């Protein structure tokens, strides 16, 4: 669409607009940098600024003296991993069904899948809690996964469906014509084609699950995921400097997969998975 | 054997479709919709005032409680906050969205879109937490305010009863800042998408016909960007309505919807009232979505 001629005639932005635009980017990232700055404060009881000194000891404390944090981290990784796996399977199946055939109710599938992220998280959370509690199922690791998978499915679905739509159907026909059976066609033709979409969708799903807190507060029993731990510190700060270190780690763990997912999508001009 | 299954599948596309659809539909249809249905049912139950036990009989009593002045006030306060956050986000999102859509060179554009999308998907909780640090009485924002000698203005703002509090990190003003910050990316992307669709020829034509740049902006670009603003407002409005993390961490004793639902459901054990109150945001969002669709916002999503 974009030709070189429109590039050369692209209007120049005024200085004011440039400043406003890049100022907004700074505003988006500034607060995260403040957290990073505060990981070096020696002050335990307040958030005094300017920092009264400089220390790196909280990294050591968080890493070596807090087994509760490690348990929370491992739990969060396990929950995110399994939720992502469920989302990859269900999202791909749904995308394949919507792509390959026209059936009654096809339009409502996208709507149903997007509901968990279109409705406020508290609705999903309390609905699941009511249902799980009503069925007398104990709240556990698995109830957290059930909650997370509901909103992870849609990101995989969107990425994979967008890829299916760009893939030409004749490739599959050619494979079948050349004698491959359905399974071989899936393994050698379809899967390589959707691999990066699966990777992008999976990383987004992982990041979404990893720092989810709203639904988790309703579907967790005694389990403390890392976000639940941070949330408890938000309401009643007890370990301020350690929380800063944990927050920095969470930023890195969620930021990197999303960055790579975005990069993958941008490079293959897919959708990034709809809007949250 | 495998190839015989394969042939059989090829001959029965309906079976394949069923095999593909059943697992996701079983999950989303039964688990998710079933849960929403359970929530709806519970909102028609009530709680026995003396024993605190849930009475499983159909009643509208619980819904009537929503119209108690205290609860109505919670709804008004939350909707007011959501509206204020939406307006401010639209204003702040516009310049960056406009720059990305119409001025940035292709490579820079890709990077800027990634830069906006990363905070949209990640670290929601941590980004709320950041404001706990920034807004603290002894924190970085107060330090800057005092540096410019504006401490008096801040104290005056905090002394206003409806929006003030003991410090920025425990007041509706602080919540407002945090909400506006965390939902800002959700406004930038739809506005940028809408602006992207304004044809360059239209802008050139406006200029050729003698409009000054500002006139073109006002009468051509702004109206065409409006569906994007509405689309973005769906998110800023909905997300603010249901949030309880920000009020719990930065608010004061004045409840917001999400917080009320959280405490009715949790400490108070009044699941029916919590369920009925959740229906509030759901209904507001459905009405909002219908209006937004009329205004053409869905094309900008």
Would you list the domain boundaries of chain A? 67-267
Q: What is the mean pLDDT of residues B208-214?
A: 86
CB of B99 closer than 8 Å to CB of A248: no
A82: exposed, middle or buried (Cβ count in 10 Å: 0-12, 13-18, 19+):
middle
CA distance A64 to chain B (A): 22
Three-class SS of residue B78? helix
For B54, nearest residue in chain A (alpha carbons): A134
Q: Measure the CA–CA gap between B235 and A154, rounded to whole angstroms.
A: 17
How many CA atoms are closer than 13 Å to the CA of B240, on its beta-carbon side?
Answer: 33
Residue B129 with chain A: CB contacts under 8 Å:
35, 230, 233-234, 243, 247
Q: How many Å from the N-terminal Cα to the C-terminal Cα in chain A?
A: 28
Q: Are strands B54-55 and B46-47 parallel, antiparallel or unpaired?
A: antiparallel
Closest in B103, B115, B133 to A13, CB measured:
B103
pLDDT at B301: 56
CA atoms of B215 and A183, how far apart (whole Å):
60
The answer to whether B275 contacts A126, with C-beta atoms less than 8 Å apart, is: yes
Highest mean pLDDT among A156-160, B88-92, B160-164, B195-199: B88-92
Nearest to B261 among A122, A183, A207 (CB): A122
Task: Name the β-bridge partners of B46.
Answer: B55
Residues of A in contact with B6 (CB under 8 A): 181-183
Q: What is the pLDDT of residues A213-242, one digit of tens each?
A: 999 999 988 889 999 999 998 888 888 889
| Cα–Cα dist A128/A215, whole Å | 8
Q: What is the pLDDT of residues B43-63, one digit of tens each?
A: 999 888 777 788 888 888 889
Spell out the CATH class of A67-267.
mainly alpha
Q: Which residue of B has its CA nearest to A20?
A: B95
Please name the residue of chain A whose CA is at the shortest distance from the CA of residue B114: A262
A130 close contact with B: CB closer than 8 A? yes
Give the integer Cα–Cα distance in Å for A234 and A250: 15
| CB-CB contact of A262 with B114 (8 Å) | yes
Chain B residues 210-249 with CB within 8 Å of chain A: 235, 238-239, 241-245, 248-249
Nearest to A49 by CA among B170, B147, B231: B147
B117: chain A residues, CB-CB within 8 Å: 258, 262, 272
Q: Tell me, what's the pLDDT at B93?
A: 95
Check if A188 contacts B (Cβ < 8 Å).
no
Strands (E), chain B: 46-47, 54-55
Return the pLDDT at B14. 82
Contact map slice: B 92-151 vs A, CB within 8 A = 92-93, 95-96, 98-100, 102-103, 105-106, 110, 112-134, 136, 138-140, 142-143
- pLDDT of the residue at B173: 92
Q: What is the pLDDT of residue A273?
A: 41
Is the model's pLDDT at A270 over the cut of 50?
Answer: no
Task: Note the helical H segments in A167-185.
Answer: 169-177, 182-185
A86 CB neighbours in chain B (<8 A) are 27
pLDDT at A7 over 60: no
Nearest to A32 among B9, B106, B127 (CB): B127
Q: Please, what are the domains in chain B? A: 2-43 (no CATH), 68-300 (1.10.3720.10)
- In this predicted model, what pLDDT tens digit does every residue of A74-111 receive, in sequence order? 999 999 999 999 999 999 999 988 887 777 777 778 77
Segment B18-41 mean pLDDT? 90
Least confident among A21-30, A106-115, B71-80:
A106-115
pLDDT for position A60: 87
Split at pLDDT 50, 70, 90, the class of A275 is very low
Selected residue of A32, A52, A130 to mutate for chain B interface (largest B Cβ count, 10 A):
A130
Q: Confirm or reject contact between B54 and chain A (CB < 8 A).
A: no
pLDDT for residue A5? 43
- Predicted local distance difference test score (pLDDT) of residue A276: 37
Whether the per-residue pLDDT at A118 is higher than 80: the answer is: no
pLDDT at B33 over 80: yes
Rounded to whole angstroms, the Cα distance separating A117 from A150 reads 9
Task: Among B122, B130, B138, select the one facing A258 at the smallest CB separation.
Answer: B122
- Check residue B73 and give its pLDDT: 92
pLDDT at A2: 45
- Whether the per-residue pLDDT at B274 is higher than 80: the answer is yes
B54: β partners = B47
Mean predicted confidence (pLDDT) in A146-164: 92
Contacts of B2 in chain A (CB under 8 A): 181, 183
CA neighbor of A51 nearest in space, from A34, A64, A66, A29: A34
Q: Which residues contact B2 (CB under 8 A, 6 or more apart)?
A: A181, A183
Q: What pLDDT score was predicted for residue B112?
A: 94
Mean pLDDT of A32-49: 88
Q: Does the CB of B45 have a partner CB in chain A at under 8 Å?
A: no
* CB < 8 Å to A100, chain B: 13, 16-17, 20
Q: Is the pLDDT of residue A24 over 70?
A: yes
Mean pLDDT score of chain A: 86
Decide if A7 touches B, using CB distance below 8 A: yes
- Measured from the Cβ of residue B28, the count of other Cβ atoms closer than 10 Å reads 23
Reply yes or no on whether the pLDDT at A271 is more than 70: no
Name the residue of chain A whose CA is nearest to B133's CA. A47
Percent residues over pLDDT 90 in chain A? 40
> What's the mean pLDDT in B208-231?
88
Q: Which residues of chain B does A124 touch, with a Cβ-Cβ cutoff of 8 Å? A: 32, 35
């Amino acid at each position: 669409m974009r030709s070189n001629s429109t590039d050369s005639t692209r209007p120049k932005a005024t200085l004011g607009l440039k400043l406003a635009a890049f100022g907004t980017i700074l505003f988006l990232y500034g607060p995260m940098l403040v957290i990073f700055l505060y990981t070096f404060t020696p002050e335990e009881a307040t958030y005094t600024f300017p920092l009264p000194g400089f220390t790196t000891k909280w990294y050591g404390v968080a890493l070596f003296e807090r087994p509760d944090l490690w348990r929370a981290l491992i739990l969060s990784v396990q929950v995110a991993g399994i939720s992502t796996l469920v989302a990859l399977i269900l999202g791909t199946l749904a995308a394949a069904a919507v792509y390959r055939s026209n059936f009654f109710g096809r339009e409502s599938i996208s709507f149903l899948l997007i509901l968990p992220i279109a409705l406020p998280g508290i609705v999903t959370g309390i609905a699941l809690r009511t249902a799980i509690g009503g069925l007398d199922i104990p709240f556990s690791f698995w109830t957290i996964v059930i909650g997370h998978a509901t909103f992870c499915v849609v990101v995989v679905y969107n990425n994979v469906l967008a890829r299916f739509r760009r893939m030409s159907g004749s490739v599959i026909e050619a494979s079948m014509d050349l004698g491959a059976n359905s399974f071989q066609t899936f393994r050698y033709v379809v899967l390589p084609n959707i691999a990066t979409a699966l990777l992008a969708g999976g990383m987004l799903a992982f990041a979404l699950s990893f720092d989810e807190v709203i639904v988790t507060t309703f579907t967790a029993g005694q389990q403390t995921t890392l976000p639940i731990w941070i949330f408890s510190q938000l309401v009643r700060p007890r370990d301020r400097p350690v929380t800063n270190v944990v927050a920095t780690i969470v930023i890195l763990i969620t930021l990197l997969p999303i960055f790579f997912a975005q990069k993958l999508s941008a490079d293959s001009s897919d959708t990034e998975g709809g809007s949250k | 054997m495998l190839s015989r299954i394969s042939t059989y599948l090829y001959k029965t596309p309906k079976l394949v479709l069923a095999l593909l659809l059943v697992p996701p539909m079983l999950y989303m249809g039964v688990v998710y919709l079933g849960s929403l249905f359970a929530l709806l049912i519970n909102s028609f139950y009530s709680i026995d005032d003396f024993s605190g036990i849930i009475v499983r009989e159909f009643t509208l009593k619980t819904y009537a409680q929503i119209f108690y002045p205290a609860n109505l006030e919670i709804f008004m306060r939350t909707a007011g906050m959501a509206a204020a956050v939406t307006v401010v986000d639209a204003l702040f999102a516009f310049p960056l969205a406009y720059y990305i859509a119409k001025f940035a060179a292709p490579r820079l554009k890709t990077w800027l879109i990634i830069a906006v999308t990363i905070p949209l998907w990640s670290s929601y909780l941590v980004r709320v937490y950041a404001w706990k640090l920034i807004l603290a009485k002894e924190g970085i924002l107060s330090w800057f305010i005092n540096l410019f000698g504006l401490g008096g203005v801040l104290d005056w703002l905090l002394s206003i009863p409806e929006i003030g509090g003991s410090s920025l990190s425990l007041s509706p003003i602080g919540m407002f800042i945090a909400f506006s910050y965390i939902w800002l990316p959700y406004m930038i992307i739809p506005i940028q998408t809408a602006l992207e669709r304004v044809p360059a020829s239209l802008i050139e034509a406006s200029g050729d016909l003698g409009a000054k740049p500002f006139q073109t902006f006002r009468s051509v670009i702004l109206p065409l960007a409006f569906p994007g603003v509405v689309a973005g407002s769906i998110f800023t409005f909905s997300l603010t309505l249901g949030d309880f993390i920000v009020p719990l961490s930065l608010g004061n004793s004045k409840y917001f919807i999400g917080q009320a639902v959280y405490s009715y459901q949790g400490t108070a054990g009044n699941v029916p009232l919590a369920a009925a109150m959740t229906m509030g945001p759901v209904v507001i969002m459905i009405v909002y979505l219908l209006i937004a669709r009329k205004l053409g916002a869905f094309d900008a999503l």
